[in-house]
Structure 1
Amino acid sequence: MYRFLLTPRWWVINLFVLLSVPVCLFMGSWQLSRFEDRVDSHQARQERSAEGAAEALAKPLDDLLPLTQETVGQPARATGRYDTGHEFLVPGRRLGDRDGFYVLTPLRTGEGRALPVVRGWLPGEADPARVPPPPGGEVTVTGVLQAPESRSSPGVHAGALPSGRLGIISAATLVNMVPYEVYDAWITVQRVREPMEAVPPVAPAGTGLDLKAFQNLGYTAQWFVFAGFVLFMWYRLFRRETETVRDRALGIGVEEVPTPSPDGTPTTPTTPAPSGDSSAR
């Protein structure tokens, strides 16, 4: 009954199933592993945030550079002097449900380069008169390492800001505003001077439990559904073919083709009478 499985048509169908199901399962497992990696990364980042920028856990800045997804969010420390002559306010920054601005002061290190340090956040419009001065002399600053930004806050046009204002925290922006080299990273201090408030660290793009992470979880379900759909369609085709072969074996649904006579005219096929019919004797 199952000899139809050896026909060329079914060889193609079976080969397709044997190839597509493992591929679907592999892709689903891969998407699931991507989601699990993001969960682990998010948990590790939360643990580091809970530990804060403790001096005992902070590493020298140069040990964490160049930036990677593993080093972003880690406590870092740097020693130098604050450049009060080039302090910047970063407007359009929200903390919770309040609008305000960051206070960014470059820290000149012993290597000659400067590290952008966000010393804190203040509510309201950016006003340098409200900003407390940074400590003088040589200081060791500890904060959470952050990646350079690629865009400014919504509603803030970086090119239209007045002097002393900054739209994007990055070396590419600061290099045109200060007369020295700038690290392509910045830190946010967690111990701030009142009335400023600490700026919480921001996870880099592509990490944490964001929308993209749950997209990976959705893709996982889709690939597994695809594998199940392929098996379901194979079963339906197999069942229909089996029923067709069985019906043919029983003579059900088989159309009789007229047999041509010697002169070429079709003759009406006759159905043999049952053996118990007296008229057939």
Structure 2
Amino acid sequence: MYRFLLTPRWWGINVFAVVAIPLCIFMGSWQLSRFEDRVQSHQQQEDRSARAKAAAARPLERLLPVDTVTSGRQASARGHYDTAHQLLVPARTLKDKHGERQGFYVLDLLRTDGGKALPVVRGWLPGDAGAKADTAKVPAPPKGEVTVTGALQASENQGTDGVQAGGGLPRGQLGMISAASLVNIVPYEVYDAWITQTDPQAPLHAVPPAAAEGSGLDLKAFQNLGYTGEWFVFAGFVVFMWFRLFRRDAEAAKDAALGIVPEGDGGGDDAGDGAGDGAGVSVVASGAVAGGADRGDGSADGRDGGPGAGRGEEQGEAARAG
């Protein structure tokens, strides 16, 4: 009854199922491992950030380039602020005990002794970076040589939250904190990193450091979790379809073994032949009946004295009269 499993069609189905199911399970497990790695990395990043807040600041040069290990570490740099190029970073959200509030960053460039400039986010203010009433609250940067301490951050990119990479901002505003966006604004080299000041000048609020890219529970992490579910669903669907096809063909083979033929299978030609034979018999029978009727009518005419018999009687009467 299960000989249908040896047909070429079922060979193809079986090979597909044997390959597809392990592949889907492997891909689902791999996506799950990626999500677990991101969760672990996020926890490690939080632990590093907590230790970095309590640890002593290290010179900036020793922490570059910024990676998942050095991101969030306390860095220090010495130099003087370029007061001619103070910039505002609009549409930035700050999460604190009051919830999420919209405002802007205050960014200044610290000209270090090495010649390069370090972008320093001195703090955050609520309001609109384009409103004079809000920007009037921005305090001027300190003059002279200063030592700045803050959490080290990697340059932003188009995928960073709050970034406005489309351009079109007014003069004095910056949409993305990166060396690439600053190179056309200032006439000197800029570090491919920035720091957010730990103890900002009032009324500025400190900007908490963000997790390093690829280490936090961001949208990509939850995409990995979603892909995990999808791959396991695909594996279950392959199993379901295999059993569905197997049950259908097994029932068909069982019915065929019992001589049960579904309606419309093989009966159409027999019915057509039977209909044709019946039509032929009907035609022959109709002809026979018609012929018998004609013969019956002729006999009746002879017995009853048809036209021929009538003419004979008239001739006899004429001879007797003569």
Query: What is the rounded CA distance, in whole Å, between the counterparts of 1:228 and 1:81 in structure 2?
Result: 62
Find the partner of 2:113 among 100, 110, 115: 110
Match for residue 122 of structure 1?
125
Deviation at 1:6, TM superposition (A): 1.5
The verdict on how the C-alpha distance between 1:89 and 1:45 changes in structure 2, with shifts beyond 3 A counting, is same
Q: How does 1:206-245 map to 2 (within 5 A)?
A: 207-245=215-253
* Structure 1 unmatched runs, 5+: 260-264, 267-281
Structure 2 vs 1, CA of residues 53 and 158 (structure 1 numbering), >3 Å: closer, same or farther? farther
Q: CA deviation at 1:154?
A: 7.7
Among 190, 194, 203, which residue is 1:182 paired with?
190
User: Given that residues 152 and 168 in structure 1 are in contact (C-alpha distance below 8 angstroms), is that contact kept between their aligned partners in structure 2?
Assistant: no
State the Cα RMSD in Å. Answer: 3.2
Counterpart of 2:170 in structure 1 is 161
Q: Tell me, in whole angstroms, the C-alpha distance in 2 between the residues paired with 1:156 and 1:149.
A: 8
- Deviations along 1:67-124, one digit per CA (max 9) or x if unpaired, are 34x1463214132212242333333333244333322222222321111111111233
Aligned residues: 259
Cα offset, 1:222, TM superposition: 1.4
Q: Give unpaired runs (5+ residues) of structure 2.
A: 271-275, 278-322
Match of 1:67 in 2: 66
How do 1:185-196 residues align onto structure 2 when only pairs under 5 Å count? 185-196=193-204
> Counterparts of 2:266 and 2:197 in 1: how far apart (Å)?
90
Contact 2:196/2:209 (CA < 8 Å) preserved in 1? yes
Question: In 2, Cα distance between the equivalents of 1:133 and 1:157?
Answer: 28
Task: Quote the Cα distance in structure 1 between the aligned partners of 2:76 and 2:58.
Answer: 9
Tell me the secondary structure at the aligned position of residue 88 of structure 2: strand
Q: Indicate conservation of the 8 Å contact 2:48/2:72, yes or no.
A: yes
Kindly report which structure 2 residues correspond to 1:1-281, keeping only aligned pairs within 5 A, or say none: 1-56=1-56, 58-68=57-67, 70-71=68-69, 73-85=71-83, 86-96=85-95, 97-124=100-127, 125=131, 126-127=134-135, 130-134=138-142, 136-150=144-158, 153=162, 158-162=167-171, 164-203=172-211, 207-253=215-261
Q: CA deviation at 1:183?
A: 0.7
CA distance in 1, matches of 2:107, 2:200: 12
**TM value normalised by structure 2:** 0.68
Larger Rg: 2
Q: Which has the higher helix share?
A: 2
Q: Which amino acid aligns with 2:73?
A: P
Distance 1:93 1:239, change over 3 A: closer
Q: Compared with structure 1, are the counterparts of its residues 192 and 144 closer, same or farther at alpha carbon in structure 2 (3 Å cutoff)?
A: same
Moved more, 111-120 or 76-85: 76-85
Residues in 2 aligned to 1:156 and 1:101: alpha-carbon distance in whole angstroms: 16
Q: Deviations over 1:39-90 (max 9, x none)?
A: 222222322333354443x44433443334x146321413221224233333
Distance in 1 separating the partners of 2:190 and 2:167: 19
Percent identity reads: 53
Measured against aligned partners, the alpha-carbon deviations of 1:207-260 in whole angstroms (never above 9, x if no partner) come to 52233322221221111111111111111221222222222222222877899x
TM-score by length of 1: 0.77
DSSP-derived class of the 2:191 partner: coil
- 8 Å contact kept, 1:28–1:222: yes
- 2:180 maps to a residue whose letter is A
Deviates more, 1:153-162 or 1:38-47: 153-162
